[in-house]
Copies of this chain bind each other. A is one copy, B any other.
């Protein structure tokens, strides 16, 4: 269940058919959820940017680090060369190296003569619910998440989101999309977040101080730690410089949900465009298509909206999870939420 299903409207743009990052043609997402015993609550989410060989056909991309208390893998090269050349893996903080190692194997397997590749792995810390020190993510889980990737995928307490918390509720994977029309042509901006941040009292939905209203709802604890990873995909023709501008606007969406990028957070945005493929090598000059910057204002707003709703969806889609040391993260209660939104005049019919 996503925000519109509850009658909650985030922003003014239309969303795509699935209201998901996979509304951007070619993008696929796969999850592996690891739940074992009392304390294994973790997993892997893979985002495949296009269906071809990504090393041979790279995509223009860029990243913005709002707060860098984080262990991302691969951003240095993305910023230098302006492209991504691998799928993107999300998982827990202590499993990023296993994930990157597996992703490297996956890329080497596809590219037999390659001696170097730049795997992209991003993380949040799920140690409130998960035995993170146990490092339960293994290389096969990465391969499986990549194989699972599909246009239809679950959100909430699944994949990398299995053990994540947001606003002291259950967080995790959330996605949304927005359609922007430019000169009569429709383009899609899709966002997928791994949410794991926020104090209860900060939670804001469509401007309503939901967190303050639910201050006394059970399940609080270890607030304000944690991070958020935001992936933005689009079929708009944009250069890596422009995708950096786009990535920054994800923060606008994040802020509107109650995100302050607290000290301990790793708040990172990765944005890529599927509009054109950049070969690993080409003798002749490239011809890069790019919207004029003067056309970007509405694109920026739609990006912020997609991210804002993706964060809210990560809460709405998540179910209650009990984990390590009997910690519980409750699902955001839909009934109470609807009641609050109504009271504040923000429920659509």
Residue positions of A touching B, CB distance < 8 A? 12, 65-77, 79-82, 93-94, 96-98, 100-101, 104, 108, 115-116, 118-119, 125, 127, 132-133, 183, 201-202, 204, 206-209, 224, 237, 239-241, 245, 248-249, 251-256, 259-264, 266, 268, 279, 281-297, 300-301, 304, 343-346
Contacts and interface: CB of A to CB of B under 8 A. Distances in A.
A281 B294 contact: yes
A241 B82 contact: yes
Return the 3 tightest CB-CB contacts between A and B, nearest first.
A207-B207, A68-B80, A255-B255
B81 A77 contact: no
Contact of A71 (B76, B259, B266): B76
A240 B237 contact: no
A116 B93 contact: yes
Contacts of A208: 207
B293 A263 contact: yes
Secondary structure at the A interface, as helix, strand, loop or mixed, is mixed
A287 B285 contact: no
A8 B4 CA distance: 28
A4 to B, nearest CB: 16
A116 to B, nearest CB: 5
Given A76-B70, A116-B93, A132-B115, A289 B287 contact: yes
A285 B289 contact: yes
A70 B77 contact: yes
28 contacts: A12-B201, A68-B76, A71-B76, A76-B266, A93-B116, A97-B97, A97-B104, A97-B119, A115-B132, A115-B133, A116-B127, A183-B284, A204-B207, A239-B241, A239-B288, A249-B261, A251-B251, A252-B255, A254-B255, A260-B297, A260-B300, A262-B296, A263-B294, A263-B297, A282-B292, A282-B294, A284-B292, A285-B292
Given A249-B260, A287-B289, A297-B264, A115 B127 contact: yes
Nearest to A224: B297
